[in-house]
């Protein structure tokens, strides 16, 4: 999750003094890079995926389930300078740190070539090798790297192994000990500085699912400890024992780890030039909420069934560093209205900030023949000073707005050794702002040494909304699908614009419980038309599988056509068969024929003998759910059939998936 500088991190009270310094130098770094790399042409369509894991301790003998927080040596050993780094390189993979000390992130070492069909079928094998290396490195019985989007018992009683109590001063959480946070000093500092800038702990309230014995939605939540941990400092207002930040009828969470401790699947694609990157970004704006809905995998938070199926808004809340004033609430006493933003003119240009820094994107990048300024109808706040500077330096209106919007945020973690930088060669100040704007899409800028024709990364788009799935088969399917879809959009030059306020609405709908069967999403159906958007509300089935009635071809048929046109002649039949299975999975998920992970998890809990229909997930049920996840990730034949149904299940079994890890050994 971004830049890892080494050094002495600054407390918020010190770092905020440099906020303007970081922004003004960050803009110069951006401009220096832009001047050099705007002329890049004909870059290859390279791409890569990122998978986040959590290490879970699952003891079948004692039926105990814990989050394993003392296996971070796995990451150390497999990362640069680690004793098994070479094994990672030999397997063409790289391991990276993530927010949680219990987390791993892994990517391919080398990018895939999106113009070669064969490369799409290296992805799954590469993912299997990543998981296998992690399994081998853990070397303790009963601890597994699982690709669960959210740990169901996060913040419930004594949920860590080794046992640790929540009394940490970085998060001040009532539920999560600071020991769950990655030990690299950036992460606890990030946690504390978000809280300090905000002036209070983060407060995440997710609607509780109402079952027949669920407590009254007006009643206080008895699972919130009635205690105060700290004498309040950092100008934080006193929170009373009956926590006013907790909304009745909701699952209350008070710490960054509830969000940034979740796992996702991301893909990054390189465009051939700046103009194609802008086109791809804009084309994916409304694909993002759809991919979130179809990968839904998180119906449980802090041991409760939620009345939603995904992680997204939990993370939004978990890193929401806006002050109450910025959120349009009553300001706190003796607390700056705008954090580290002291320029009065800039303050006036921003007014209030409607969304967290982790949220859906607010504006199109434009610069395409289809773009109209009326599509950008959210009026997202911008930092006027940054916007003016970019505009007068030659960036167009939309690019200046895009970065002007990112630069409304303060840098959250600064290292005293890295305050002065060489703006000709370094990008850390820019990246500091860029990489803590966690939106559904990230528009990645080349570094200053990315001169035309160099092999340094060029203009890239990262697609970030997808939830992680339990198996690498699924993660490969979603990665391959989203990249082929992107390639199809570029190939056919579809016009995917609709008012961005409708995309915002789609994002909310993507959160809803069983959105597949109960929701419709706005889509532009006249994608072959350069005129005004014809927008209809379609089910995910209609969107992914197509609908004659709605005159919408469907995303899966689009991908199939593209593959036939682009690769038809030299496609390997085994590859095509696998692609069919990937598309079968996504098609089934979108139509509801194959339940989403979230729906399946709900079923596992609600049918569990220990469940009392009270929306509380018993530890025994959480254990069985994680055991199921573990068996599924190993493609246990019975589990695979239960989860995917006969068609995909039998195909996986017939193709030897159940012994895939044994074969890697």
Least separation in angstroms between CB 149 and Mg ion? 13
- Closer CB to ligand GLU, 16 or 409, in the complex: 409
Scan residues 438-477 and list those touching ligand GLU (CB under 6 A).
438
365 near ligand GLU, judged by CB under 6 A: no
Query: According to CB under 6 A, which one of 154, 160, 271, 315 is a site residue for ligand GLU?
Result: 315
Q: What are phi and psi of 176, to 5 degrees?
A: -110, 120
1 near Mg ion, judged by CB under 5 A: yes
- Closer CB to ligand GLU, 318 or 617, in the complex: 318
The helix/strand/coil state of 107 is strand
- Closer CB to ligand GLU, 204 or 264, in the complex: 264
Contact region with ligand GLU (CB under 6 A), list: 200-208, 262-270, 271-279, 579-587: 262-270
Rounded Cα distance between 311 and 329, Å, is 25
Cβ–Cβ < 8 Å for 7, 439: no
- Closer CB to ligand GLU, 263 or 273, in the complex: 263
Query: Residue 165's CB: how many other CB atoms inside 10 A?
Result: 9
Contact region with ligand GLU (CB under 6 A), list: 163-171, 201-209, 255-263, 335-343: 255-263
Contact region with Mg ion (CB under 5 A), list: 98-106, 187-195, 373-381, 517-525: 98-106
Query: According to CB under 6 A, which one of 43, 49, 52, 321 is a site residue for ligand GLU?
Result: 52
315 near Mg ion, judged by CB under 5 A: no
- Closer CB to ligand GLU, 100 or 649, in the complex: 100
Query: According to CB under 6 A, which one of 1, 463, 563, 660 is a site residue for ligand GLU?
Result: 1
- Closer CB to Mg ion, 105 or 514, in the complex: 105
264 near ligand GLU, judged by CB under 6 A: yes
Q: Which of 108, 73, 102, 59 is nearest to 472 (CA)?
A: 108
298 near Mg ion, judged by CB under 5 A: no
- Closer CB to Mg ion, 1 or 55, in the complex: 1
Partner that binds at residue 533, options Mg ion, ligand GLU, none, CB closer than 5 to 8 Å by kind: none
- Closer CB to ligand GLU, 47 or 489, in the complex: 47
Rounded Cα distance between 65 and 74, Å, is 20
- Closer CB to ligand GLU, 288 or 515, in the complex: 288
29 near ligand GLU, judged by CB under 6 A: no
293 near ligand GLU, judged by CB under 6 A: no
Least separation in angstroms between CB 291 and Mg ion? 16
Partner that binds at residue 262, options ligand GLU, Mg ion, none, CB closer than 5 to 8 Å by kind: ligand GLU
Number of residues that bind ligand GLU (CB under 6 A): 9
262, with CB counted inside 10 A (0-12, 13-18, 19+), is buried
Cβ–Cβ < 8 Å for 181, 188: yes
Q: Which of 427, 442, 349 is nearest to 388 (CA)?
A: 349
- Closer CB to ligand GLU, 154 or 621, in the complex: 154
> Which secondary-structure segment (H or E) carries 68?
strand 64-68
Q: What are phi and psi of 388, to 5 degrees?
A: -60, -45
DSSP tag of 445: P
Query: Residue 360's CB: how many other CB atoms inside 10 A?
Result: 24
Least separation in angstroms between CB 191 and Mg ion? 16
Q: Which two tokens stand for residue 150?
A: 């959210």
Partner that binds at residue 126, options ligand GLU, Mg ion, none, CB closer than 5 to 8 Å by kind: none
> Which secondary-structure segment (H or E) carries 189?
helix 186-198
DSSP string, 168-184: -TTT--SS--GGGB-SS
Q: Which two tokens stand for residue 134?
A: 């992690």
DSSP tag of 639: H
Contact region with ligand GLU (CB under 6 A), list: 81-89, 258-266, 285-293, 334-342: 258-266
Length of the chain, please?
665
Q: CB nearest ligand GLU: which residue?
A: 264
Rounded Cα distance between 481 and 559, Å, is 8
- Closer CB to Mg ion, 442 or 630, in the complex: 442
Q: Which two tokens stand for residue 50?
A: 């990122």
Q: Which two tokens stand for residue 600?
A: 């399946």
> Which secondary-structure segment (H or E) carries 56?
strand 46-59
DSSP string, 355-406: S-SEE--------STT--GGG--S-----HHHHHHHHHTT--HHHHHHHHHH
Least separation in angstroms between CB 103 and ligand GLU? 8
Q: Which residues bind Mg ion (CB under 5 A)?
A: 1, 105
Q: Which residues bind ligand GLU (CB under 6 A)?
A: 1, 52, 260, 262-264, 311, 315, 438
């Amino acid at each position: 999750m971004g830049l890892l500088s080494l050094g002495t991190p600054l407390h918020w009270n010190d770092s905020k003094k440099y906020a303007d310094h970081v922004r003004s130098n960050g803009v110069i770094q951006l401009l220096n890079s832009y001047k050099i790399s705007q002329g890049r042409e004909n870059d290859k369509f390279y791409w890569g995926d990122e998978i986040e894991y959590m290490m879970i301790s699952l003891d079948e003998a004692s039926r105990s389930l814990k989050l394993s927080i003392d296996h971070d040596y796995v990451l150390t050993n497999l990362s640069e300078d680690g004793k098994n780094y070479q094994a990672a390189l030999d397997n063409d993979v790289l391991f990276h740190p993530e927010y949680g000390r219990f987390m791993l992130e892994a990517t391919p070492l080398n990018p895939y070539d999106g113009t070669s069909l064969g490369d799409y079928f290296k992805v799954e094998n590469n993912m299997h090798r990543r998981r296998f290396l992690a399994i081998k490195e853990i070397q303790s019985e009963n601890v597994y790297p699982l690709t669960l989007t959210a740990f169901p018992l996060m913040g419930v009683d004594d949920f860590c192994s080794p046992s640790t109590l929540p009394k940490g001063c970085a998060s001040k959480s009532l539920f999560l000990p600071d020991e769950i946070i990655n030990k690299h000093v950036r992460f606890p500092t990030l946690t504390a500085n978000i809280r300090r800038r905000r002036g209070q702990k983060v407060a995440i309230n997710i609607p509780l699912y109402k079952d027949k014995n669920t407590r009254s939605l007006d009643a206080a939540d008895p699972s919130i400890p009635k205690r105060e941990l700290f004498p309040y400092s950092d100008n934080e207002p006193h929170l009373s024992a009956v926590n006013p930040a907790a909304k009745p009828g909701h699952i209350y969470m008070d710490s960054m780890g509830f969000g940034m401790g979740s796992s996702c699947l991301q893909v990054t694609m390189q465009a051939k030039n700046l103009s194609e990157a802008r086109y791809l970004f804009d084309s994916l704006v409304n694909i993002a909420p759809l991919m979130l809905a179809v990968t839904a995998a998180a119906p449980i938070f802090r041991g409760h069934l939620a009345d939603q199926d995904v992680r997204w808004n939990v993370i939004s809340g978990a890193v929401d560093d806006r002050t109450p004033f910025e959120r349009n609430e009553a300001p706190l006493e003796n607390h700056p209205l705008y954090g580290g933003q002291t320029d009065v003119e800039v303050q006036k240009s921003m007014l209030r900030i409607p969304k967290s820094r982790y949220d859906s994107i607010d504006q199109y990048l434009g610069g395409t023949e289809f773009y109209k300024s009326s599509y950008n109808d959210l009026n997202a706040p911008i930092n006027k000073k940054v916007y003016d500077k970019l505009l007068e330096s030659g960036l167009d209106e939309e690019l200046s707005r895009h970065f002007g919007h990112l630069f409304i945020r303060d840098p959250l973690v600064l290292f005293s050794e890295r305050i002065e930088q060489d703006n000709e060669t370094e990008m850390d100040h820019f990246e500091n702002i860029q990489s803590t704007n966690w939106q559904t899409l990230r528009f990645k800028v080349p570094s200053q040494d990315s001169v035309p024709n160099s092999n340094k990364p060029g203009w890239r788009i990262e697609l970030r909304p997808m939830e992680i799935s339990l198996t690498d088969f699924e993660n490969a399917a979603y990665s391959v699908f989203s990249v082929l879809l992107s390639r199809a959009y570029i190939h056919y030059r579809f016009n995917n614009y609709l008012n961005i306020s409708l995309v915002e609405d789609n994002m909310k709908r993507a959160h809803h419980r069983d959105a597949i069967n109960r929701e419709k999403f706005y889509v532009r159906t006249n994608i072959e038309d350069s005129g005004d958007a014809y927008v209809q509300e379609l089910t995910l089935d209609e969107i992914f599988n197509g609908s004659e009635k709605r005159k919408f071809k469907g995303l899966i048929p689009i991908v199939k056509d593209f593959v036939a046109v682009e690769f038809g002649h030299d496609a390997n039949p085994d590859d095509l068969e696998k692609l069919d299975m990937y598309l079968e999975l996504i098609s089934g998920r979108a139509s509801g024929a194959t339940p989403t992970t979230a729906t399946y998890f709900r079923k596992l809990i609600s049918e569990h003998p220990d469940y009392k229909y009270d929306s509380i997930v018993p530890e025994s049920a959480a254990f069985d759910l994680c055991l199921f996840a573990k068996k599924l990730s190993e493609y246990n034949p019975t589990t695979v059939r239960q989860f995917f149904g006969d068609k995909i299940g039998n195909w996986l079994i017939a193709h030897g998936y159940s012994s895939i890890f044994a074969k890697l050994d």
